[in-house]
Structure 1
Amino acid sequence: MWAATLAKQLSHPTRSVAGWLVSKFLVTNNQILEENAVQLSGILPGDTVLELGHGPGLGLQSAARLLTEPTGHLIGVDYSQYMHQMASERMKELVASGKVTLHHCDVAAMPLADSTIDKVFHCNCYYFWPSLRKGASEIHRVMKPGGLMVTTLKLNRLAYFASKRVLPGENWHPEVYMAALKDSGFTDVRMEDKQHSDITFQAIYATALK
């Protein structure tokens, strides 16, 4: 019972006690992964950048600091209305200025034009998508040719959650997501081990081929 509840809240946090606890968990456990996803993306000051499943907005804050040119624009999408509201409050000044745009939507159906995004990053996100192929295809659609996508994860933590049935099915396996990326038109898809202080994590890279 607890595993199903946790899985539901991790994939789609709601305004509830359980959703609030999950938001605190995300802030505590995702910050290093979020910040490293931003850094590994190689964001340039004038890029248009997209974060998928932005959660409470930690990665958005890190990315926004790098977009120092007037043309720099940050977009975030999240399926959870609760996370959308939380991030909107955290980023309210940049949203008001037009530097940041947040959408409450499904990754598989984003209200973005074709070939407009330079960099995409996400963290602890893809395991909950109903269809990895649809999600990967939609990411590929909105990215510019040669654009880079980066996602960060802790494989040992995913394996633990999967063993407790918090992560159902097989989508949590990196190779399943990487196969979906390749099938959707990405090239140079690879996973690398990374180190941050005493924490080991993994990063998946993919380049949009068009």
Structure 2
Amino acid sequence: MLAEAIGKHLRCPRKSVTGWMVILWLKAHNRNLEASAVQLAGVQPNDTVLELGHGPGLGLQSAAKLLTGPKGHIIGVDYSEYMHKRVKRQLKNLVVSGKLTLHHCDVAAMPLEDNTVNKVFHSNCYYYWPDLRKGAKEIHRVMKPGGLMVTVLYLYEVENIAAKWFVSGDNWRPENYMSALSDSGFTDIRIEDTTHGYKPFQAIYAIANK
């Protein structure tokens, strides 16, 4: 019961004491990982960038600092209404300026036009999606030809989380996500071990082939 409750809040934080604790944990745990995802995505000043499962907004803030050109734009989507409202309030200045757009939605059904995004990044996210292929196809749909998708994760921690039933099924396995990306039209898919400071993590790369 406890593992199931924690898993639900990790997947979709809600306004509660547990949800608040999850946010504090995400901020402390994912800060360096989010910054690494933005760096590895190679965000350019005039890119249109999409973060999937933006959580407390750390990645959005990191990317926004690099989008200094007049066309630079960051889009964030999250399945949690609580996270969506919280970040919309916290990053109000970016939203009002037009630099940031937020959507409360499922990754598999994003309210974005085809071929609009240059770069996509996400952190510790894909293994909560009910259907990896639906998510991968939707990501591919919204990306411009040749666009880069990067996802980062602490694989050994994900393995531990899966062992404790915080994550159900085998979606957490990188090879399953990479297979879904391949089936959806992505190419040059690879996973690499890298580090940020002292802590190793994994990065999955894919190019939207169209």
TM range (shorter): over 0.9
Matching residue's letter, 1:209 = N
Any residues of structure 2 matched to 1:52-91 within 5 Å, and which? 52-91=52-91
Q: Which residue of 1 aligns with 2:192?
A: 192
Q: Which residue of 2 aligns with 1:125?
A: 125
Matching residue's letter, 1:155 = L
Q: Distance in 2 between matches of 1:32 and 1:173?
A: 22
Q: Which residue of 2 aligns with 1:41?
A: 41
Q: Distance in 2 between matches of 1:195 and 1:138?
A: 29
Q: Distance in 2 between matches of 1:142 and 1:120?
A: 10
C-alpha displacement at 1:90, in angstroms? 2.1
The number of aligned residues is 210
User: What TM-score do the two structures reach when normalised by structure 2?
Assistant: 0.99
Name the SS for the 2:191 alignment partner.
strand
Q: Which residue of 2 aligns with 1:183?
A: 183
Moved over 4 A (4+): none
Q: Which residue of 2 aligns with 1:139?
A: 139
Name the SS for the 1:138 alignment partner.
helix
Q: Distance in 2 between matches of 1:34 and 1:28?
A: 11
Matching residue's letter, 2:48 = T
Q: Distance in 2 between matches of 1:197 and 1:123?
A: 17
Q: Distance in 1 between matches of 2:156 and 2:130?
A: 22
Contact 1:78–1:103 (Cα < 8 Å) also in 2: yes
Identity of aligned residues (%): 63
Matching residue's letter, 2:181 = L
Contact 1:124–1:152 (Cα < 8 Å) also in 2: yes
Q: Which residue of 1 aligns with 2:92?
A: 92
Contact 1:57–1:86 (Cα < 8 Å) also in 2: no
Contact 2:33–2:196 (Cα < 8 Å) also in 1: no
Q: Distance in 1 between matches of 2:183 and 2:194?
A: 25
Matching residue's letter, 1:41 = A
Q: Distance in 2 between matches of 1:104 and 1:69?
A: 26
User: What TM-score do the two structures reach when normalised by structure 1?
Assistant: 0.99
Any residues of structure 2 matched to 1:142-181 within 5 Å, and which? 142-181=142-181
Q: Distance in 2 between matches of 1:190 and 1:76?
A: 24
- Cα deviation per residue 1:159-195 (whole Å; 9 max; x = unaligned)? 1111111111000000000000000000001000011
- Cα deviation per residue 1:71-130 (whole Å; 9 max; x = unaligned)? 001100001011101211221101001110000001000000000000000001101101
Q: Which residue of 2 aligns with 1:11?
A: 11
C-alpha RMSD of matched pairs (Å): 0.5
Matching residue's letter, 1:194 = T
Q: Distance in 1 between matches of 2:196 and 2:42?
A: 17
Q: Distance in 1 between matches of 2:97 and 2:78?
A: 20
